[in-house]
Amino acid sequence: MKRFVIKLGAFALVNAIIAGAVLARIDSGYAFEQFETDSVLLSMPHNEEVGVLVMGTSRARVLTRVRCNLECLERELGCKVFNIAVPFGGGIVPEKLYLGEFYGRGNRVRTILFFLDPFTMFSPQPNQDHRFVYYEPLRPSLLLAMARNEIPFRRILIYVQSKFTWRWISQTAGTVPCDFETVKGKPDPEKARMRVESLYFDGLNDGYFEHYAETLRDILEMAKQHGARVVVALPPTLLGPQPGADRLMRQLDEFKKSYELVFYDFTGVITDTALFSDYDHLNSPGVETFVKEHLKLVLN
């Protein structure tokens, strides 16, 4: 029986090594630009210095996921920009993991621009339970970071299993040249209310907020250790003032005692529906307006 268990373990180990080698070979062929993929790591540089590192949810991801948006951003800011914002409503825990990967690859950044949506501070759904695991390549460093940051075992298992699917193996670049979708007419208050409500899975749970405030502290500490300036901002939307924003701002005021950071509220700076693709996201003309009239002023 003991010999059988040893053989079985050896067989599993050999197969795992072979599978890992095959997967590494496949992944080595993926070299995407930021506007070609929803994966952060597949476009992340090595040993480079960038002027601005963008963080946040999909509201920040649109700044580079669309090709002309990235071109506008880098042209107006006059520097290289890399974006580790999490698509599909990703939260602060995935951002901590991505920032660790960014620095772990020997990269450097002068300014971190963190579009911090309040809803990400009040629930596990955008954080430990988020689906970002589907989009990232299998990396030992990320796997270890997940385990250290309370990512549930079921999510870690999905992270591994999803790499051995046809969807992962057959992926190709998916470029969006420009986004000219618009919101028609005036914003519907009821639609806005329902959208906001859908983002707060556990309401304004103070216990979760305190927990994720510590994650935010970890991010600020990482930035401080690497000499990066941090700009925290609420992104522009058509949803109006966000629940929990006042709680977040009080916490940021507290963090200012220990960390060098500045805060801007861009929630209502753009109200023209022609500049939004939906209630959450700016379209390409909206990004250009936002960058030229607001972002450029606070970053330069």
pTM for this model (two decimals)? 0.91
- pLDDT of the residue at 8: 40
How far is residue 72's CA from residue 3's CA, in Å, rounded to a whole number?
Answer: 64
Cβ-contact 235, 264 below 8 angstroms: no
Summarize pLDDT for 231-247 with one digit per residue, the tens. 999 999 999 999 999 99
Summarize pLDDT for 118-158 with one digit per residue, the tens. 999 999 999 999 999 999 999 999 999 999 998 999 999 99
Chain-centre distance of CA 73, in angstroms? 17
How far is residue 111's CA from residue 52's CA, in Å, rounded to a whole number?
Answer: 5
pLDDT band at 97 (very low <50, low <70, confident <90, very high): very high
Q: Which of 28-42, 88-102, 127-141 has the lowest mean pLDDT?
A: 28-42
Q: Which CATH superfamily is domain 32-135+174-299 in?
A: SGNH hydrolase (3.40.50.1110)
Tell the burial category of 47 from Cβ atoms under 10 Å away from its Cβ (0-12, 13-18, 19+): exposed
pLDDT band at 29 (very low <50, low <70, confident <90, very high): low
Stretch (H or E) spanning 72: helix 67-77
Average of per-residue pLDDT across 203-228: 97
How far is residue 136's CA from residue 38's CA, in Å, rounded to a whole number?
Answer: 9
Position 26 pLDDT exceeds 90: no
In the chain, domain spans: 1-30, 32-135+174-299
Quick one: which of 62, 91, 118, 80 has its CA closest to 248?
118
- pLDDT of the residue at 300: 78
Write the CA distances from 64 to 4, 176, 178, 291, integer angstroms: 53, 10, 11, 12
- pLDDT of the residue at 31: 81
CA quadruple 268, 130, 23, 8: dihedral, nearest 10:
170
